[in-house]
Amino acid sequence: MNIQWYPGHMTKARRAMKEDMKLIDLVIELVDARVPFSSRNPDIDELAAGKARMVLLNKADLSDEGKNAAWASLFESRGIHVAKIDARNKGSLKQVQAVIQEACKEKIERDRRRGILNRPIRTMVVGIPNVGKSTFINSFAGKACAKTGNKPGVTKGNQWIRLNKTLELLDTPGILWPRFEDQTVGLHLALIGSINDQILNRDELAWELIRLLEEVYPGVLKERYGLTEEESDEEKGPWVSLSKEEQNLRASYMLEQIARKRSCLIRGGELDLARAAALLLDDFRSGKLGRLSLEQAQDYKDRVK
Ligand code: G4P
């Protein structure tokens, strides 16, 4: 038996979302392109059943282009339309309108057969906190659009923004909850700085980042911080072949090296590992380590319906 437990406010949010969905033709779901699985809501397929679907791989400016393409193919293979965007950059949103039309082709055709012409597509933006919903709505809707006023049935206070003749957007982002019961999801969201909850202390979070990056992008950290190989590195082989303890040891050694290279010291010359960890996490989150993704589509094929 699969027991689902939601805290009260989530049950309420879920109910409100279900209500709003009744008015919607197209669901625009934002995910963080660095962690497209962990930044999705577990119930979105059920909530958006029967609607045209679109996933925006947001923060694509920070994620790995090759991995973005693989994620786009995976979602497309599930009948979901995709665009890769940087919500802060209006230029990157130009393609979105065309993808929306494509995603709603069937609805437009159905309307046409019934003699309904020019009924705008109604859409809403949904996603877990911090994926960039508000940024996207502001950039996409801009200032030029007129509010169309309240319509019956829309959650009290919600308004529609008429973007153009063919598109209306619900003015409020639909805030969804993450897959909070899954430890790896929590870790990945913490690494991108999306949740404040201290699920691990900073040093351990940094070790996890080192482990993930060394697995997928070997050499990136060494190059960025000018680290030297540990003498026995080569003998130990690739990270995946190491035990958890060995990985932690190697990661803590690398963190110490980063602390040394970046002069993270406390009085007395001791290494300030907490500062090195913060620096590393910050460099990753801000893209200073390059465009890197923590999740690869091939590892999640069976979990994306
Ligand atoms: P939300 O409504 O889904 O909760 O997310 P929101 O738009 O508030 O965005 C969360 C953070 O992500 C903001 O940064 C925002 O600037 C940033 N962001 C949104 N889209 C993109 C993107 O495509 N690329 C990058 N690199 N960042 C993006 P913040 O630090 O919380 O605020 P601020 O310092 O930008 O004001």
Note every long-range contact of 106-112, with CB atoms under 8 Å and residues 24 or more positions apart, other chains counting: 106/52, 107/25, 107/26, 107/52
Nearest to 210 by CA among 265, 273, 128: 273
Residue 3: band (very low, low, confident or very high) from pLDDT cuts 50, 70, 90? very low
Residue having the nearest C-alpha atom to atom 18 of ligand 1: 132
56 C-alpha to ligand 1 centroid (Å) = 14
**Residues near 47 by beta carbon (within 8 Å), at least 6 away in sequence:** 14, 17, 18, 21, 27, 41, 176
**Residues near 200 by beta carbon (within 8 Å), at least 6 away in sequence:** 187, 190, 208
Place of tokens 């090759």: 66
Q: Looking at the predicted structure, is the pLDDT value of residue 153 above 50?
A: no
Q: Does the beta carbon of 29 lie inside 6 Å of ligand 1? A: no
Q: Looking at the predicted structure, is the pLDDT value of residue 25 above 90?
A: yes
Nearest to 130 by CA among 50, 236, 223, 41: 41
Integer-rounded Cα Rg, in Å, for the chain is 22
Q: Write down the pLDDT at residue 41.
A: 93
Taking the CA of residue 62 as reference, the ligand 1 atom at the shortest distance is 26
Q: Write down the pLDDT at residue 27.
A: 97
Q: Write down the pLDDT at residue 234.
A: 56
59 C-alpha to ligand 1 centroid (Å) = 8
Taking the CA of residue 137 as reference, the ligand 1 atom at the shortest distance is 7
Q: Does the beta carbon of 173 lie inside 6 Å of ligand 1? A: yes
Model ipTM value: 0.97
Q: Write down the pLDDT at residue 235.
A: 57
Residue 74: band (very low, low, confident or very high) from pLDDT cuts 50, 70, 90? very high
Token pair, residue 264, equals 């993270």
- Kindly indicate whether the domain formed by 8-179 is annotated with CATH number 3.40.718.10: no
Q: Write down the pLDDT at residue 278.
A: 94
Q: Looking at the predicted structure, is the pLDDT value of residue 102 above 60?
A: yes
Percent share of the chain, pLDDT over 70: 88
- Cβ atoms of 81 and 29 within 8 Å: the answer is no
- Average per-residue pLDDT in the chain? 88
Q: Looking at the predicted structure, is the pLDDT value of residue 233 above 80?
A: no
**Looking at residues 210-221, what average pLDDT do you find?**
93
Q: Write down the pLDDT at residue 53.
A: 96
Q: Does the beta carbon of 132 lie inside 6 Å of ligand 1? A: yes
Residue having the nearest C-alpha atom to atom 13 of ligand 1: 132
For the chain, which residues make up each domain, given as ranges? Answer: 8-179, 200-297
Q: Looking at the predicted structure, is the pLDDT value of residue 152 above 80?
A: no
Fold designation for 200-297: Conserved Hypothetical Protein Ylqf; Chain: A; domain 2 (1.10.1580)
Token pair, residue 253, equals 């050694």
**Looking at residues 189-213, what average pLDDT do you find?**
85
Q: Looking at the predicted structure, is the pLDDT value of residue 279 above 90?
A: yes
74 C-alpha to ligand 1 centroid (Å) = 25
* Distance in Å from the first CA to the final CA of the chain: 20
Q: Does the beta carbon of 58 lie inside 6 Å of ligand 1? A: yes
Q: Write down the pLDDT at residue 7.
A: 67
Place of tokens 């910050």: 282
Q: Looking at the predicted structure, is the pLDDT value of residue 218 above 70?
A: yes
Q: Which of 28, 64, 130 to mutate to test the pocket of ligand 1 (most atoms within 8 A of CB)?
A: 130
Of 234 and 118, the one with more pLDDT: 118
Q: Looking at the predicted structure, is the pLDDT value of residue 1 above 90?
A: no
Q: Does the beta carbon of 92 lie inside 6 Å of ligand 1? A: no
Q: Which of 96, 125, 135 to mutate to test the pocket of ligand 1 (most atoms within 8 A of CB)?
A: 135
- At 154-176, the pLDDT tens digits run 445 568 888 888 899 998 778 88
Q: Write down the pLDDT at residue 150.
A: 46
Q: Does the beta carbon of 247 lie inside 6 Å of ligand 1? A: no
